[in-house]
Amino acid sequence: MKAHNDQEGVVVTATELKQNFGKYLDFVEEQNDLVITKNGVKIARLTPYVTDIEQYFIIREKALDYQYGGKKVSYAEFMEIYEKSTLRMELINGEIYLLSSPSIGHQEILGRLHLIFNEYFKGQKCRVFLAPFDVHFKKKEIKEPDVMQPDILIACDLENNITEKGRYMGTPALVVEILSDSTRTKDMIDKLNTYRLSGVKEYWIIDQRQENIMVYSFDDHEIDRYKTYDQGCIAQSVVFSGLSADIERLYNDLP
* 182-188 contacts at long range (C-beta below 8 A, 24 or more positions apart): 182/62, 182/63, 182/64, 182/65, 182/100, 183/65, 186/65, 186/92, 186/97
**Within 10 A of 120 (CB to CB), how many other CB atoms are there?**
17
3-state SS record for 129-164: EECCCCEEECCCCCCCCEEECCCEEEECCCCCCECC
* Pairing outcome for strands 222-229 and 212-219: antiparallel
pTM: 0.74
Whose CA is closest to 90, among 190, 171, 222, 201? 190
How far is the C-alpha of 130 from the C-alpha of 68, rounded, in Å?
A: 25
The per-residue pLDDT for 67 is 47
CATH of 4-46, picked from 3.40.1620.10, 1.10.10.10, 1.10.1380.10, 3.40.50.300, is: 3.40.1620.10
Distance between CA atoms of 73 and 56, rounded to whole angstroms? 9
Please check whether residue 100 is in contact with residue 64, taking contact to mean a CB–CB distance below 8 angstroms.
yes
Q: Domain 104-251, what fold?
A: tt1808, chain A (3.90.1570)
Q: Provide the residue ranges of all domains of the chain, joining segments of one domain with +.
A: 4-46, 52-98, 104-251
Q: What is the pLDDT along the chain (255 residues), one digit of tens a residue?
A: 456 665 556 888 888 888 888 888 888 777 777 888 888 888 888 876 655 454 444 333 333 344 454 468 899 989 988 888 888 899 999 988 888 888 999 999 999 999 999 999 999 999 999 999 999 999 999 999 999 999 999 999 999 999 988 889 999 999 999 998 888 889 999 999 999 999 999 999 999 999 999 999 999 999 999 999 999 999 999 999 999 999 999 999 887
Question: Nearest 10 degrees: CA dihedral of 74, 154, 113, 242?
Answer: 140
Quote the pLDDT of residue 11: 87
